[in-house]
Structure 1
């Protein structure tokens, strides 16, 4: 009696199906986490989502379109200020239009996209480190405007609170009694779901751009501008579009930032909530995750924005990083050391970033499954 051997490949799960199952499990986990985690941990997760949205925009610009930008912090500030002014009331010395918060959010994204488009002529003429240095000037411009236009920002001393976000009459605050599975959903839980929805929308749109004609045009310009032009790609338009899209993502991250802090407060120096350090952090997220990889940007944000938050939470319970004097080790400082080391290791040993490592692991698991 003959025996038939079924090839092992018959039972192997395709890598694409494995990735889909992984994303579905991750989304389900994120949906149920507010039912189990306390507010401080949810705030840490929210900050990771803020970073993820901004990092997606930068990885599209730098990884897909090949344009180096250090101006991300400026567009984050522009988005935060635009939302606060558009949605806020006009009281005393503060300007405000009193728009519906959802309309104000969309308006903030449009305004930052327009600002990115206005910078496009400079981006079209410069490349590499020269474009990076030129874009850095916008951060100093944002520092100056944030301090001087106090009717918009509230000034460095007091700042101004943003309008509470509302959607179709539903308030993302502690108003009203709302519970799921016996767990009351307060402001922290509601904002978690808001940020998660914005992140999912940002991710889906970015993936659509990368896999479509827009993404192919960006990559053609990145690889060789002359060849791209010969193939019919409008190089100037592609560069301008990439900068506008990246700026729009940074503007959305700015809206999320001001909602997370619950105050718009401009920086007193070039290092702060909207300073040079933020531009560097976003660039670190893109590099660590893998330049050009949208999923990698999420992983980079978890490391860069998440690690200081997690260390701060543990430091309260365990007494770590208790020093406050100059030069003391703080969660932010330790986090900076960690992601700085990660950048060096990624560049030396895994140029594709965490995204390439993840793809390798997924393919390996799929072959063994």
Structure 2
């Protein structure tokens, strides 16, 4: 994204947005210390946590990267998209086709996994660029309905392009390899007496990609592009008056969001090790919207928390279905864990929108402000006014 999205006027480039107040030095130090502690904990998890929880983390990080793209598009730029699942599918099947080999009717190009991942991301961005002229002319619910057609079109293509997608049965995904190391269970790597198979090694790969994606998204939202997005979200007429090229800015937001979805799709392929068309339906797009609404629109940390909650809840409920009331496992008579999870975070979305539209981020900020002692009122010495002489 180039810097000519916003004209070089000082008022547009230098004004700090109201939703990103300046933080004091102690607050920044506390934030950096908390981030360092969280990172240390995440780096140590593969040595102490069961593979089941690590696999949930892989699914959550793959979804979080896609949610970051929708945070930029909808949370910052105000462009509603219900077609996010389509771009995730492009990244998933793009990687599977580019890195896979020929297996019967299913074809593949056999490219190196790293090159396949990069090309799949660019392919998702190219699809977003092709849709950007429509996105540049629409906004709000009209753009959401137009992007909804991408999901149905994509699902039809996934079912019928058998040489590329494998049809209804899907296709296998080649394991990722980098520098001669393959991220699979065939690896004989042993660290501190802990065997590092596919889940343990992919954990660090996913963690690195998620951290980089989060930092890039945060810098975009805090820089000139982010200010242009927010100006356009608040008022397109006002943004144009401030020097924002609205059409180009909409296209840039859609392309960037599509590339994030493509990266999330590549991670989804590596986490599942198989691509199935039924996963990339309208329900997945609704899940992405739930992630960013629960976490807080326009918040990168909120997207991470929301993605973790939405992805982990049905899996955890399914695992402990026998110990929970009113919830049954898959295939049993009663309320399945996946349906129960939809009820839970659907109700939470309604509660959040009614009570705290800013999501979990705003809730945490409100609790922190309440616990903070009130500052003593400042007493200022009145300036003496000289007495007026009477004639």
Q: Same fold (TM over 0.5)?
A: yes
Counterpart position of 2:204: 193
TM alignment of 1:39-50, pairs within 5 A? 39-50=51-62
Q: Distance in 2 between matches of 1:323 and 1:234?
A: 51
Q: Distance in 2 between matches of 1:143 and 1:73?
A: 10
Is 1:331 aligned to 2:337, yes or no? yes
Q: Distance in 2 between matches of 1:318 and 1:334?
A: 11
Deviations 1:217-237 (A, max 9, x none): 111111111121122211111
**SS of the residue 1:176 aligns to:** coil
Residue pair 1:56, 1:297 contacting (<8 A) in 2 also: yes
Counterpart position of 1:346: 352
Counterpart position of 1:357: 363
Residue pair 1:308, 1:332 contacting (<8 A) in 2 also: yes
- Structure 2, unpaired ranges of 5+: 1-23, 375-391
- 1:362 to 1:204, Cα distance in 2 relative to 1, 3 A: farther
Deviations 1:109-131 (A, max 9, x none): 11101101111111111111111
Q: Distance in 1 between matches of 2:289 and 2:365?
A: 21
Is 1:322 aligned to 2:334, yes or no? no
Deviations 1:22-81 (A, max 9, x none): 211111111111111111111111111112111111111001000000001111111111
Q: Distance in 1 between matches of 2:323 and 2:41?
A: 25
Question: Bigger radius of gyration, 1 or 2?
Answer: 2
* CA displacement at 1:255 relative to structure 2: 1.0
* CA displacement at 1:358 relative to structure 2: 2.3
Counterpart position of 1:113: 125
Counterpart position of 1:4: none
Deviations 1:117-165 (A, max 9, x none): 11111111111111101100000001110011011111113x2111110
Counterpart position of 2:136: 124
Counterpart position of 1:311: 317
**SS of the residue 2:309 aligns to:** helix
- Structure 1, unpaired ranges of 5+: 1-11, 268-272
Q: Aligned match of 1:291 in 288, 294, 297? A: 297
Q: Aligned match of 2:73 in 36, 50, 61? A: 61
Q: Distance in 1 between matches of 2:336 and 2:70?
A: 27
TM alignment of 1:1-369, pairs within 5 A? 14-157=26-169, 159-267=170-278, 273-315=279-321, 321-322=328-329, 324-325=331-332, 328-362=334-368
* CA displacement at 1:354 relative to structure 2: 0.6
Q: Distance in 1 between matches of 2:68 and 2:159?
A: 28
**SS of the residue 1:119 aligns to:** helix
Residue pair 1:148, 1:155 contacting (<8 A) in 2 also: yes
Q: Distance in 2 between matches of 1:201 and 1:367?
A: 36
Residue pair 2:318, 2:329 contacting (<8 A) in 1 also: no
Between the two proteins, the alignment pairs up a number of residues equal to 350
Residue pair 1:15, 1:366 contacting (<8 A) in 2 also: no
Q: TM-score, normalised by structure 1?
A: 0.90
- 1:215 to 1:26, Cα distance in 2 relative to 1, 3 A: same
Q: Distance in 2 between matches of 1:143 and 1:176?
A: 35
